[in-house]
Amino acid sequence: MTDPIIKFDKVVKRFDTLTVIDELDFEVGQGEKVTIIGPSGSGKSTVLRILMTLEPIQEGVVYVDGDMLWHEKANGGVKPAGEAHLRRMREKMGMVFQQFNLFPHMTVRRNLTEAPVKVLGMSKAEARERAEELLDMVGLADQADKFPHQLSGGQQQRVGIARALAMRPKIMLFDEPTSALDPELVGEVLSVIRRLAEEHDLTMLLVTHEMQFARQVSDRVCFFDRGKIKEQGTPEEIFGNPKEERTRAFLKAVLEGE
Amino acid sequence: MALAWGTCDGHTLMHWTEYFGPLMQGAWVTIELTVYSTILGAILSFAAGIGKTSHNPVLKGISVVYIEVFRGTSLLVQLFWLYFALPLIGDAVGIDLRLPPVVAGVLALSLNIGAYGAEVVRGAIQAVSKDQYEAAKACNFTPRQTLFSVVLPQAIPEMMPPFGNLAIQNLKDTALVSLISLGDLAFRAEQLRNFTQDSTTIYTMVLFMYFGMALVLTAIMKLLERNVGRWRAVRR
């Protein structure tokens, strides 16, 4: 593996006295598709939220694309990252939220063009053209003028994916993208993500409860428990022959439910 | 004021229809005061309301002090202070701080309504969900872009009903400026009453005139409300 594009080095994240991420070491390679599974409260979403700079860390260092994420170099030493540094780092990542988090006061098209125009300085025409392409890719070319609340959950989440892609990230973070969806709408979202995984060399980090899907799209599956990676390996290893007792128990409980 | 009157029992007499002239003059002043101070008050509301949510301690401090001072003191005292006390302070330091009554009136009204409005603005901004701030961050908006592209467009529709209340409150508060000899509706009514002693008719007319203006104001606010929240109206 070449230099990892994401690297957690002994990272600790606490909420008051509760340790959610416990001296985590974790690496993701360029273009790798990694799925994070685990029980609720195991810190899996927190990993994504730390990367998107939504949650600061208390100890350790996170590297993204060769640079420190939460720190920056300052005359020989290292200091906590300022807003300018954080904004430079955020450029590399896009995030898809469990609750979609679309901007409700903007049309679908504006959801996709607002940030590219304002943040990336793209021309309006270019941003619109790019929005059309992305909407076409997620199968919503005819919905551009609607508002988010006029769409189904599955459609909203596909807009969410397109919105994140509109910023041309190197890394896509998916935080339980189908957990808020009605069962019959899960498929359309997963197939968009699957196509994205197959056709692009994006680095993808997914937190999901869809085990079947995790098995199909991931290069590697990480099982999180109590803020640490308890076990990781290829989907075949994790789902076919899990070594840890904890992993076996979790998979048994989840798969029985399916 | 050119009025036609006769005398009876030592009181000046006018036919009630003759009250309309001076009362309308006064109503016009009231409307002007309301419009100017509501607009200036809205600007102050946004400045202080946004300032109070700022992470900059200086901006935040100024906003908090402004809001607390003007909410915590009476409008009448603020008005008297600007009109009577400020010029004396000006005298003492050698600057002419005498304000024309209109300026003092508009200033006192706007500063007062702005302090209340600021709390409305702050509340609406803080009511925008955390999810929206996180989405804005994930889209890499600057804090300023987040405020103007994401937060305010969602917060402003929420501000409209309480703003409507404040505007009407403001309309009624304008009556206080008659105490610094501004010829508004309340002032004209008082003048007429001194002439005629016809309190019942005059105050009833004034009551209806304030009420009519309040109705118009309510209609304007409704219209504004519908306009700024068009994306929400679709949902219903």
Task: Say whether B140 and A103 touch across the interface (CB within 8 A).
Answer: no
Which band of pLDDT confidence, cut at 50, 70 and 90, is reported for residue B195? confident
3-state secondary structure of B73: coil
Closest CA to A120 of A83, A159, A88: A88
Q: Do B132 and A103 touch (CB under 8 A)?
A: yes
Q: Could you tell me if B8 lies within 8 Å of chain A, comparing CB atoms?
A: no
Secondary structure (3-state) at B54: coil
* B143: DSSP letter: H
CB of A234 within 8 Å of a chain B CB? The answer is no
Say yes or no for a CB contact (<8 Å) between A101 and B142: no
> How many CB atoms lie under 10 A from the CB of residue B122?
21
**Among B77, B99, B69, which residue's Cα sits nearest to residue B86?**
B99
Q: How confident is the model at residue A172 (pLDDT cuts 50, 70, 90)?
A: very high
Question: pLDDT band at B231, cuts 50/70/90?
Answer: low
pLDDT band at B52 (very low <50, low <70, confident <90, very high): very high
Kindly state the DSSP code that residue B9 receives in the 8-state scheme.
T
Chain A, residues 38-97, CB within 8 A of chain B, namely 52-54, 83, 87, 90-91, 93-95, 97
Q: Which residues of B touch A54 (CB under 8 A)?
A: 134, 137-138
Assess B226–A contact: CB distance below 8 Å, yes or no.
no
Which domains, from first to last, does chain B contain? 21-230 (1.10.3720.10)
HSE (CB half, 13 Å, CA atoms) of A188?
17
List of chain B residues whose C-beta atoms are within 8 Å of the C-beta of residue A102:
135
Cβ distance of B139 and A115 shorter than 8 Å: yes
Consecutive H or E run containing B22? helix B20-53
Query: Model confidence at A64, in pLDDT bands (50, 70, 90)?
Result: very high
Q: What is the pLDDT of residues B103-138, one digit of tens each?
A: 999 999 999 999 999 999 999 999 999 999 999 999
Check CB contact under 8 Å for A105 and B139: no
Least CB–CB distance from A167: residue in B131, B139, B231: B139
Contact B134 A97 (CB under 8 A): yes
pLDDT in tens, A75-108: 888 899 999 999 999 999 999 999 999 999 999 9
Mean of pLDDT values over A160-169: 95
Residue of B1 and B231 predicted with greater confidence: B231
Predicted complex ipTM: 0.92
- The per-residue DSSP string of chain A comes to --S-SEEEEEEEEEETTEEEEEEEEEEE-TT-EEEEE--TTSSHHHHHHHHTTSS--SEEEEEETTEESSEEEETTEEEE--HHHHHHHHTTEEEE-TT----TTS-HHHHHHHHHHHTS---HHHHHHHHHHHHHHTT-GGGTTS-GGGS-HHHHHHHHHHHHHTT--SEEEEESTTTTS-HHHHHHHHHHHHHHHHH---EEEEE-S-HHHHHHH-SEEEEEETTEEEEEE-HIIIIIS--SHHHHHHHHHHHHH-
- List CB contacts (< 8 A) between A114 and chain B: 139, 149
**Candidate from B132, B234, B235 with C-beta closest to A101:** B132
Identify which of A118, A147, A164 has the shortest CB distance to residue B149: A118
* A127 reaches B (C-beta below 8 A): no
- B207-to-B31, B76, B196 alpha-carbon distances in Å: 15, 21, 18
Give the residue, B193 or B234, on which the prediction is more confident: B193
The stretch A207-227 carries a mean pLDDT of 92
Count the helices and strands in chain B (H runs, E runs): 11, 2
pLDDT at res. B236? 40
Give the span between the Cα atoms of A85 and B81, in whole angstroms: 49
Q: Which residues contact B172 (CB under 8 A, 6 or more apart)?
A: B210, B214
Residue B112's H or E segment, with its range, is helix B101-127
**Integer angstrom CA distances of residue B201 from A249, B19, B196:** 86, 9, 10
In angstroms, rounded to a whole number, what is the distance separating the alpha carbons of residues A111 and A102?
Answer: 7
Q: Is B92 at the interface with chain A, CB within 8 A?
A: no
- Of A95, A114, A118, nearest to B138 by CB-CB distance is A95
Average pLDDT, stretch B150-178? 92
Instruction: Give yes or no for a contact between B122 and B53, defined as CB atoms under 8 angstroms apart.
Output: yes
Cα A243 to its chain centre, rounded Å, is: 26
pLDDT digits 0-9 by tens, A223-258? 999 999 999 999 999 999 999 999 999 999 888 866
Which pLDDT value is given to residue A257?
Answer: 67
Partner-chain contact A87 B140, CB within 8 Å = yes
Q: At residue B87, does pLDDT exceed 50?
A: yes
Q: What pLDDT shows up at residue B21?
A: 86
DSSP annotation string for A218-238: -SEEEEEETTEEEEEE-HIII
